[in-house]
Amino acid sequence: MDFGGIPPARRSPLRPGAGRRPPLAPGFGLPCPDAGYALLLAHLTGDDVVLEPDEEREDANWAIATVAMRRAGMLGRAPFVEDVKIARTLLAYDGSEDGDFSGWRARRLTGVANDADLRQRLADVAIVAAEMRYPVDVDAARRWRAALRQHV
């Protein structure tokens, strides 16, 4: 009598596609919960980014967020500040210069904010970043940058 006429609770039917795992084939990407949060973090911490004279801040934010998203996805979690810091160091946006890398980065990553193919190539190289911890070892950053130059 406490619930006067309310029928007992029933389990609702599953939605179409519920319970399926995301496909793990080329072109489908890597699932990362709340991946867009990496872009927000990159924007919020953008004051620390060291740009070349002809670089756009929006391209830098997208490049940093792309690496951070892929790293977080490889670790099976959402991105957080450490992912953004590692991405910033790997891409030499923190001012750590490695020869002419920042000049190369400014030329090759121009337009990354609007180029999904370029972001995908950057994300493919970023897989290796899952193993790194902050602060990033200088030699590991150099090896990652060399791999990036070969693939982008």
The DSSP string of 90-150 is HTTTTS---TTHHHHHHHHTTTGGG-HHHHHHHHHHGGGGGG--SSPPHHHHHHHHHHHHH
DSSP 14: P
Domain annotation covers residue 9: no
Q: Are 144 and 137 in contact (CB under 8 A)?
A: no
Structural domain boundaries enclosing 85: 36-151
pLDDT for 8-39, tens place per residue? Answer: 777 777 776 666 666 666 666 667 778 889 99
Q: Is the pLDDT of residue 146 over 70?
A: yes
| pLDDT computed for residue 79 by the predictor | 93
Residues in the chain: 152
Angle at the Cα of 100 from the Cα atoms of 109 and 111, rounded to 5 degrees: 10
Whether residue 113 lies inside any domain: the answer is yes
Supply the pLDDT for residue 22: 61
Collapse the DSSP code of 88 into the 3-class scheme (helix H, G, I; strand E, B; otherwise coil) and give the result: helix
**Span 71-101, pLDDT tens digits:** 998 888 889 999 999 999 999 999 887 678 9
In a domain, 118, yes or no: yes
**8 located within any domain:** no
In-domain check, residue 54? yes
CA atoms within 13 A on the CB side of 152: 30
At position 63, the amino acid (one-letter code) is A
